[in-house]
Structure 1
Amino acid sequence: MTHTVLVTGVSRHIGARVASVLAADPAIDRVIGVDTVPPPSLSRDGGVPPGRTEFVRVDLRSPDIAQVIAAADIDTVVHMSLVSAPSRSGGRALMKEHNVIGTMQLLGACQRSATVRRVVIRSTTAVYGSSPHDPAVFAEDSDPGEHPGHGYAKDASEVEGYVRGFARRRADVVVSTLRFANFMGPGIDSPLTRYLTQPVLPTVLGFDPRLQFVHEDDAVEVLRRMATEDHPGTFNVAGDGVLLLSQCARRAGLPTIPLPSPAFRLMGDLVKGTGLTGYSAEQVRLMRYGRVVDTTRLAAELGWRPKFSTAAAFEDFVRSRGLPSRLLPTAAGR
């Protein structure tokens, strides 16, 4: 039974939603959210109404996280703190420290804990990379066509390696690793959603990648189940079906401008200063080769399927942003 849950990354949208859902579960006694800054829904001094998430300001790169776990007798850890893009102030070096060093500190604290019995890790399908040598569909045991060598994908691959080491050392702890496709939904702000809200959509000339999305509601539900039930292993998480990038553009009513790959990257650098998004090397590869994963293992393990297909998740995102939608009537269904 789950009694006390620690959720990292609660200042970001999905982390805050997961903490809120768990705090509303009467079977859970206490939910502690940690981050370097408090989420908007929590007061700045950390004082929150009874029954709500308790916030503790902690930088995961410091040893302080071990004190939080020990003091609160944490039995379940939900690690939501991986960031997918560098901040303007910290840059790539700080992003890597946060993702990799922060996770190492967290896992070290869990390893030393006498109370932790379940650890849930938010990872990403980006660990499979994007290359012309990819299989049509990635299963959890598929090897990448080319191993990620930079950015968020490389961080996530390193994190998963440390998670596997932790699972070997603490065989008594249930460890669940969730490889999410790109989050989509009304509350999501990511490099991909910023890309998809530009007035004109640059594309890579000669390529029309297959994309998968997972709606934020389904992501939260999967994380809730993993935090309250024992489901060890690694699982792909994505909505059913795929969309081509050209279909995304048509359904959002966005004109496209095909560019050679170097020009695509250059345009990303030019718009970075406007507050939209820059295009990392891994995003350029995704916009060329795409990525599709198989979710059979998750469906069999949970006896559950996502409420939103990839197309329906994108439709909800388009409508929430007020884009000049040209959605097909069938897009809302699975």
Structure 2
Amino acid sequence: MRVVITGASGNVGTALLRRFADEAPEWDIVGVVRRPPEPEGVYRHVEWQELDLTEPDATQRLTQVVKGADAVVHLAWGFQPTRNTEYLTRLGVGGTSAILQAAHQVSVPHLIHMSSVGTYAAGRYTQRVDESWITSGIPSSPYSRDKSAAEEMLNDYEREHGDDAIPIARMRPGFIVQRAAASGLMRYALPGWLPMLAVPMLPVLPLDRRLCIPLIHADDVAAAILRALERRATGAFNLAADPPITRTEVAKVLGSFQIHVPSRVLSTLVDLSWRAGLQPIDRGWLDLAFSVPLLDCSRARSQLGWEPQWSSVAALTDVVTGVALQSHSDSPPLRARSMIEQLRRDFTEGMLTTRQLP
């Protein structure tokens, strides 16, 4: 097997490379990223191609990269800059278009697209939905709007090309975490002046008591992708662990005292602090957390023979432990989070919420 992976050095990509190393070491892996990592550890046995999917010639260059591949796994997506959503759309939706066009031109036999629970519409909060639920997204979340738009693009492609379309599998996981991504996740979520150690030492957890979200460990997402590749699976697959994560579970893992703050108040505070430049997360992420449904994963179990090995609480504990230990991986997206580096780049390259490379 020759597999091309976009976003191969990120959260899911790193977990997928670990899975390949353990279960399919004979496969040839090509990683397409904006900043190739040093060829060490899990990133060692990968053919790296440096490419920004927003570039005008991305489709042409991708065509050469995916030519001869047995499958393409499209993971590349952006979470920052939240103040430049036009770039995020070009990267997420435009990048999906580029990889789809390139794969179609050279007749790649199989495409796996990393979608998200964020593609689903509101209306079933705290209830489980299967893959037939509406994929119109959460309007106030730029991330969700783009995930929905990317899936609609795949729908249009399949309608247009019919039997000649590339077989496509769509992975729709809940929120994805792992210890090795702790520094990367905190880089997106915390202001540059706040140390990671402040998170596991949080004495009070001010959250709406209604919080109820699907969570999954990156290792289990990687396992589902590998099963989909092996079985040439098509269609959509929900991926999440049990139990759903509530405020109580978060408080227990953090060892924090719970205080009820309504989600609409939290969203307003997040919006005001984001607009003031005090923190990098826009209110869309809060709206998403209090809107997305839970996931019925029966199809992944029956069609892929997949079962999560991490409970959601164990996955949450793993990433919180990673935050406490300042865990990281040796790739640019997941590198160690340095307050000094972030502040220096804020002054020399622009704020995290405006520059294209986090």
Classify the TM-score, shorter chain.
0.7 to 0.9
Structure 2: how far apart are the matches of 1:91 and 1:5? 31
Structure 2: how far apart are the matches of 1:278 and 1:87? 10
The residue that corresponds to 1:37 in the other structure is: 35
Contact 1:209 1:290 (8 Å CA) reproduced: no
The residue that corresponds to 1:308 in the other structure is: 310
TM-score scaled by length of structure 1: 0.79
Structure 1: how far apart are the matches of 2:186 and 2:156? 30
Structure 1: how far apart are the matches of 2:282 and 2:6? 27
Give matches, 1:1-334, under 5 Å: 3-22=1-20, 25-28=24-27, 30-41=28-39, 52-61=45-54, 62-70=56-64, 72-83=67-78, 85-87=79-81, 91-114=84-107, 116-131=108-123, 134=125, 136-143=127-134, 147-149=137-139, 150-168=141-159, 169=161, 171=163, 173-188=166-181, 189-190=184-185, 194=189, 197=199, 199=202, 200-204=204-208, 207-269=209-271, 277-281=280-284, 283-289=285-291, 291-322=293-324
What secondary structure is seen at the aligned counterpart in 1 of 2:115? strand
* Residues 132-173 of structure 1: per-residue CA shift (max 9 Å, x gap): x557211100236x7422411111111111122333426353
Does 1 or 2 have the higher relative contact order (CA < 8 Å, sep 6+)? 2
Contact 1:180 1:214 (8 Å CA) reproduced: yes
1:5 alignment partner AA: V
Contact 1:185 1:215 (8 Å CA) reproduced: yes
1:74 alignment partner AA: A
What secondary structure is seen at the aligned counterpart in 2 of 1:6? strand
Identical columns (%): 22
The residue that corresponds to 2:346 in the other structure is: none
TM-score scaled by length of structure 2: 0.75
Structure 2: how far apart are the matches of 1:73 and 1:118? 12
* Residues 220-249 of structure 1: per-residue CA shift (max 9 Å, x gap): 111222233311110101113212123311
1:107 alignment partner AA: L
2:64 alignment partner AA: A
Structure 1: how far apart are the matches of 2:306 and 2:147? 26
CA 1:58–1:147 in 2, change beyond 3 Å: closer, same or farther?
A: closer
Structure 2: how far apart are the matches of 1:249 and 1:275? 24
Superposition deviation, residue 274 in structure 1: 8.4
Structure 1: how far apart are the matches of 2:38 and 2:205? 31
Runs of 4+ in 1 over 6 A off after TM superposition: none
Structure 1: how far apart are the matches of 2:58 and 2:18? 23
Please provide the CA RMSD for this pair. Answer: 3.1
Provide the aligned length of Structure 1 versus Structure 2: 306
218-227 or 118-127, which deviates more: 218-227
Higher-helix-fraction structure: 2
* Residues 175-212 of structure 1: per-residue CA shift (max 9 Å, x gap): 110001001221234479948937243323xx422122
Structure 2: how far apart are the matches of 1:16 and 1:274? 31
What secondary structure is seen at the aligned counterpart in 2 of 1:67? helix
Structure 2, gaps ≥5 residues long = 191-197, 326-358
Structure 2: how far apart are the matches of 1:81 and 1:106? 10
Superposition deviation, residue 23 in structure 1: 5.9
Structure 2: how far apart are the matches of 1:22 and 1:170? 32
What secondary structure is seen at the aligned counterpart in 2 of 1:103? helix
